[in-house]
Amino acid sequence: MNHPSPTILVVNAGSSSVKVSVYTVPEAAHGDGDVNPELSAHGQIEGIGVAPRLTVHMADGRPVADERFPLAQVADHDAAFRLIRLVLSIGLRDNPPVAIGHRVVHGGADFTEAVRIDDEVLAKLEALVPLAPLHQPHNLTAIRAVREAAPELLQVACFDTAFHAGHDVMAQLLGLPYRYFEQGIRRYGFHGLSYEYIARRLRQVAPDLAEGRVVVAHLGNGASLCALRDGRSIDSTMGLTALDGMPMGTRCGAVDPGAVLWLAQQGMRADEIQAMLYQESGLKGLSGVSSDMRVLQASAEPRARLAIDFYAYRAAQEVGKLAVTLGGLDALVFTAGIGANSPEVRARICAHLTGLFGIELDPGANDDNRQRITHDGSRIPVLVLPTDEEGIVALSTARLMREAMAQKAAA
Ligand code: ADP
């Protein structure tokens, strides 16, 4: 009898959305044991707690569902997750998933690679909530919801911090008393699933560059940059939390800690400061218009311009900083929503880098979001590569699933 290939789900629970991707895991083609999960469908609920909307489409883009829900029906992540599971369970009736991989933002000092989730792992991840208050609670809600519904199902956590685990101590230190470093108060770095994907992709599309000194700018709602040497992360602009580095959609990026102290001295409580730094700052707070780059680009408000100018200026500065870490620069890569889709923002960032790095954009290639957007004569090539964080989660989950299956067979 012909068995269908096993199915796995990848869950990416963000601050206002839950995305679920369905992958099939074909038998290893080459006996080398590696797995290549293939995306078969993708569903997401956006606007949780605001204007919930469920969309599902197949890997080829064919839409399957597009439905808006009354706010009361999908008021929180728990409800969103239950709804999306219901929709998927109908679609996957004949081939239920054998494993679920979760994108988890913070793995702290304990988790340097993807792990099977058990009670102990869950407790450790819980303890990291204060270091990622915007994301970690939602990641854990999804994990708990699955455990409740299907306690036996293999669940895997894949961390945004893990790809940065090999950083030198210089890249980890904060200038605080050393005892805090020993307690785990150190710079971790985030967006690691995206950087891991880009490092792999670069090896495919430009193997010569992939061996060199590369800065990757992940510019989405969150934004950070990563220094890669020979495909490994050397440093990143985010630190202990996903607040550090360049300004983002709603997050502040690096600010003088004296400013935070000042806010506290004015009588603001820690939770109020937290909400401001994570949700009311960055492009949103500076512009007073929106956190969304498309809206800002279309806005005639002077402060929308100011916000974009500051964003580009700070991103370019971070490129320079990471080039110092790398001892030079062989390529710059843009990725994520803004990085892969906004010629204007890329051009503004690169304009700051022309003098120091001899970057010369090809405006036509940039406007078309082509893979290489610099002239042949540019001293440093600049590339645009869309990211695929879910693909990396699928890969790690499929590997651990294979391991679990092999263990079961051997027992
Ligand atoms: P997330 O970090 O939530 O995954 P994305 O990577 O999708 O977010 O990035 C969202 C950002 O990308 C938003 O600011 C959005 O405006 C921006 N963006 C998407 N498409 C474009 C575009 N064509 N031009 C400019 N900005 C864009």
pLDDT of residue 50: 80
Task: Please check whether residue 233 is in contact with residue 163, taking contact to mean a CB–CB distance below 8 angstroms.
Answer: yes
Gap from CA of 337 to ligand 1 centroid (Å): 3
The tens digit of pLDDT for each residue in 301-322 reads 999 999 999 999 999 999 999 9
pLDDT of residue 90: 67
**First and final C-alpha spacing in the chain:** 24
Gap from CA of 292 to ligand 1 centroid (Å): 7
- What residues in the chain have per-residue pLDDT under 50? 31
Output phi, psi for 314, to 5 deg.
-70, -35
Left (φ > 0), alpha (ψ -120 to 50) or beta: where does 149 sit? alpha
Residues with beta carbon inside 6 Å of ligand 1?
14, 220-222, 249, 292-294, 297, 336-338, 341-342
Among candidates 198, 190, 185, which has minimal Cα distance to 165?
A: 190
All residues at 6 or more sequence positions from 335 whose CB lies less than 8 Å from its CB, including other chains:
194, 198, 216, 217, 218, 219, 384, 385, 386, 387
The residue annotated as part of the active site, out of 60, 119, 160, 244, is: 160
Which atom of ligand 1 is nearest the CA belonging to 387?
6
pLDDT of residue 137: 93
The tens digit of pLDDT for each residue in 357-405 reads 999 999 999 999 999 999 999 999 999 999 999 999 999 999 999 998 8
* Bridge partner residues of 233 (DSSP): 228
What domains, with CATH codes, occur in the chain?
Answer: 7-159 (3.30.420.40), 207-389 (3.30.420.40)
Buried/exposed 267-298: b ≥16 CB within 10 Å, e otherwise: eeeeeeebbbbbbebbbbbbbebbbbbeebee
Report the predicted TM-score, pTM, of the whole model to 2 decimal places.
Answer: 0.94
> Is 256 tagged catalytic?
no
Gap from CA of 249 to ligand 1 centroid (Å): 9
Task: Please check whether residue 357 is in contact with residue 323, taking contact to mean a CB–CB distance below 8 angstroms.
Answer: yes
Residue-level length of the chain:
411
